[in-house]
Amino acid sequence: MNHIFDSPFRFFYLFLLILATSITISCDEKKIGVESPPIVEPPVVDPKPKEELKPITDMVLLYGGGTHRNVTWNKQYLKPYVTYTDDENTEHWLFDGFLFLEFVTGNPQLSTSRIFAFGYGSLPARKQEWQALADYYFTPNNAVYALEDAIADAATRIGVPPKKVRVVICVPQPIPTGAGSRYPQVPTDYWGDINGKKIDLSKKEDRLEACTWYVDYVSRLFSDGKFKHVELAGFYWIAESIDETSNMLPELSDILNRRKFSLNWIPCWKTVPIPDFFSWKNYKFTYAYLQPNYFFYDVPLRRLTEACEHADKYDLDLEFEFDHNVRVASGRTKVSRMYAYMEAFRKNNMLATKKIAYYQGSDVLAQMYFSKNAPDRELYNEFCEFILEHQRLYGK
């Protein structure tokens, strides 16, 4: 693949890249949104239909692994994500997919933190941080093990779920360094070695080798757990935009697909004429969930309609977004925006046609469930009814 920065116009292209990045909105680095330009047709995408690999109807995002997180994903705290008990005291299975992910090892403001994706300050994570992140997700009484236990407990009350609950694990971005990179002062072999071979992340083949090592390591940890109620469904590409590391994605997807794992992506909304999420199939993602990014900014309500239109036109799934601003403790300043997602997804027939991923800030759904404030509990119940409605309608 030709690299635009090798051309005589590299400084011009660099300026365009910086400009595009400056108007990108992501889940964790929110910037002020602006109006979208008219839709421009994207490049031709791979016409081959994607294979359905352990599909998930409703996937919740659970952040964890960085020392700055104050949430412990134990069995008790996962309970309100695993099942929901309605007003008639009937308990239902809730999310059928759990995405465990992290962007940074600790407070992004600290120079000692290491990042798992571009854009979060500090230096790129090394093999030792990648391994520690995977180990965190497979610590007893936490994350995947706690999810297994929470499902097992619920199964004693309402019977085993109709299918195993699916787990998706983030794969860190193999960040290149050295001359010509965003980290020119960092040695190209900073990451570490595999079987005695120094990995040079300035090389595409070594980036792919590092990611394959990580996939195999997570797979071994999962196998060691001998889980009965959860299964490893796939991996999540944590970078929210297409960048200089993305040329390895088709090959990574092939590696995962041969193992019957999916490659998932949640691209952020962009206001450039041809957003990269239009051509997501070119990178062979199995599933891509578009972030509307309506909840966070003063953008028109029609942003949600636009997101639904893009999802239909470009075969994308969708992300549902909310955070602590829907809670009583935060003044419920944006609760109307949470309802707007429900209304837009219903009105545009997204519940019958699209998978949904759920961004909840950190642990807001659990906060609502355990809250002593009636409006929080009522909103939790309404949201869970929305998920059950989606599960009833999807694919029909």
Q: Which residues of the chain have pLDDT under 70?
A: 1-51
- Please choose, from the candidates 265, 281, 237, 290, the residue with its C-alpha nearest in 3D space to the C-alpha of residue 25: 290
10 part of a folded domain? no
- Please choose, from the candidates 176, 323, 174, 279, the residue with its C-alpha nearest in 3D space to the C-alpha of residue 237: 174
pLDDT digits (tens, 9 = 90+) for 49-73: 566 899 999 999 999 999 999 999 9
Helix (H, G, I), strand (E, B) or coil at 357: strand
Q: Give the range of the structural domain holding residue 99, as residue numbers without chain letter.
A: 57-393
Identify the CATH number of the domain in which residue 226 sits.
Answer: 3.20.20.80
User: Side-chain half-sphere of 143: how many Cα atoms within 13 Å?
Assistant: 24
90 part of a folded domain? yes
194 part of a folded domain? yes
155 burial (CB, 10 Å; 0-12 / 13-18 / 19+) is middle
41 part of a folded domain? no
Radius of gyration in angstroms for the set of CA atoms belonging to the chain, rounded to a whole number: 21
Could you give the number of structural domains in the chain? Answer: 1
Give this prediction's pTM: 0.89
45 part of a folded domain? no
List the beta bridge partners of residue 170: 236
- Please choose, from the candidates 66, 93, 65, the residue with its C-alpha nearest in 3D space to the C-alpha of residue 78: 93
127 part of a folded domain? yes
pLDDT at 268: 96
pLDDT digits (tens, 9 = 90+) for 28-45: 433 333 334 444 444 444
261 part of a folded domain? yes
With vertex at residue 9, the alpha carbon angle to CA 6 and CA 14, rounded to the nearest 5 degrees, is 80
18 part of a folded domain? no
Paired tokens of 103: 């962007």
